[in-house]
Structure 1
């Protein structure tokens, strides 16, 4: 009887030890050294299909820029009059990487960086339409998505269009203890193809990763560790089994004490 009790307690201890998490599994940036020669603070916003662009043209000649800064208004179905406050027109980049811009017509801008697009548009406008134009471009639907074993998964709009993977994880409330830190997935669309990257948050090499700076519509996915998966797939009667086991252990202990 004593052996049964000892074995039962031994199994319980093993279960508790198996559920423990080592510090080496959860502390960020603990491995490797940073290769400063590979660290870059430069970041480029690349224009992609489905981006919604807000394009503002300014110059000293305000009349010259007026045709290029159209206003989007809503009209009443009954009176055919404008309703509400006029807002600046936005431009959806289609699947071919094109927008239909006032006066200039179709412009193929997919794959250009923001700076390249601004230079391209200035070249189209000056000097035939506007003298010394200033061009401001903003992606109004810039967002990233964080999924998986984090505290607050979801879509997050990024107003300044610049975010690192660490900042994205911070927006999602950080990983849960059960999240796999050494195998975080980043899915990105490049040249019409879905590309996947793996990131190790335990390593300082993350600062040299091509996905350290995220791009619009990137998806960050954190996998749950093995213990979390096993816990999620456990039978719904697990708690009942544990309760019955506890009662049996208590009874065996009482019987052992009475037989002494």
Structure 2
């Protein structure tokens, strides 16, 4: 037991003495200036349980009142909300919203722009030149693992990159593996896990540089954290062993 304790202690000291290169973002960025083209960002697609803010503007006040009734609607549940709250339309599990006058409209799997065009075309059958605006009310991401403030975060914009997400979570702890960040993403019933390296400047060109709604960012602990946890377990085991030994001695003494 003592040998195991000493071994873990030596490993911990060895790891802690290594250069902390893992703490550096863009470690391979040697030039004073690095320029990269901004590629086309993968636009988020509307998913089940998304809450959409939809407003319709027309030349008719009556039509405006008709198409903007301030109701959270879905094919599953309906709840009245005031104009001061985040009103919107809840996308049901089949990708539908229940929109005034139009009824059930399928928007799941569409981008915001595609859904806007679809609604505009449908509303044009009733009024002239409608202007439709759609936004995500609950664009959420989760950041967990070795960060200072792991949590779910609601983002007021639909454009957030991996570094902005990490900043929301208070940055990585010294034990976080910056070279192996996992991003968990669900899209159309398929769950996918990809890994990116924040130490590499090529992360700026990654299609996963920008996050999508409901993405989960997981930061794994490094070896130093694992050694620390192992050391803690060894201390507990050693303490339990000593306590059992003392208890055995006391039992023998009482019998004598």
Tell me the TM-score range normalised by the shorter chain: 0.7 to 0.9
Contact 1:179 1:223 in 2 (8 A): yes
Correspondent of 2:205 among 203, 208, 212: 208
How far the C-alpha of 1:161 sits from its partner, in A, is 2.0
How far the C-alpha of 1:14 sits from its partner, in A, is 7.1
The residue matched to 1:195 in structure 2 has which SS?
strand
Distance in 1 of aligned mates of 2:12 and 2:81? 66
Provide closer, same or farther for how the CA distance between residues 65 and 21 of structure 1 changes in structure 2, counting only shifts above 3 A: farther
Distance in 2 of aligned mates of 1:231 and 1:83? 50
The residue matched to 2:231 in structure 1 has which SS?
coil
Correspondent of 2:222 among 207, 225, 245: 225
The residue matched to 2:164 in structure 1 has which SS?
helix
Contact 1:144 1:217 in 2 (8 A): yes
Q: Which residue of 2 aligns with 1:115?
A: 113
How far the C-alpha of 1:236 sits from its partner, in A, is 4.9
Contact 1:143 1:217 in 2 (8 A): yes
Please report the TM-score for the alignment, with normalisation by the length of structure 1: 0.76
Q: Which residue of 2 aligns with 1:47?
A: 46
1:170-220 CA distance string (max 9 Å, x none): 111111111111110000001211111101000011111121110111000
Q: Which residue of 1 aligns with 2:195?
A: 198
How far the C-alpha of 1:49 sits from its partner, in A, is 0.8
Question: CA-atom RMSD, angstroms?
Answer: 3.0
Q: Which residue of 2 aligns with 1:251?
A: none
Distance in 2 of aligned mates of 1:223 and 1:134? 46
Provide closer, same or farther for how the CA distance between residues 164 and 47 of structure 1 changes in structure 2, counting only shifts above 3 A: same
Q: Which residue of 2 aligns with 1:177?
A: 174
1:13-62 CA distance string (max 9 Å, x none): 8753332342422211122797835x415452311111011111112212
Q: Which residue of 2 aligns with 1:36?
A: 36
Contact 2:70 2:82 in 1 (8 A): no
Equivalent runs, 1:14-93 vs 2, <5 Å: 16-31=13-28, 36=36, 39-40=38-39, 42-72=41-71, 89-93=87-91
How far the C-alpha of 1:12 sits from its partner, in A, is 7.6
The residue matched to 1:131 in structure 2 has which SS?
coil
How far the C-alpha of 1:111 sits from its partner, in A, is 1.2
Provide closer, same or farther for how the CA distance between residues 93 and 204 of structure 1 changes in structure 2, counting only shifts above 3 A: same
How far the C-alpha of 1:229 sits from its partner, in A, is 1.5
Contact 2:56 2:131 in 1 (8 A): yes
Correspondent of 2:94 among 60, 84, 96: 96
The residue matched to 2:224 in structure 1 has which SS?
helix
Unaligned runs of 5+ in 2: 1-7, 73-79, 239-256
Distance in 1 of aligned mates of 2:43 and 2:82? 36
Structure of larger gyration radius: 1
The residue matched to 2:14 in structure 1 has which SS?
helix
Aligned length: 223
Distance in 2 of aligned mates of 1:24 and 1:61? 63
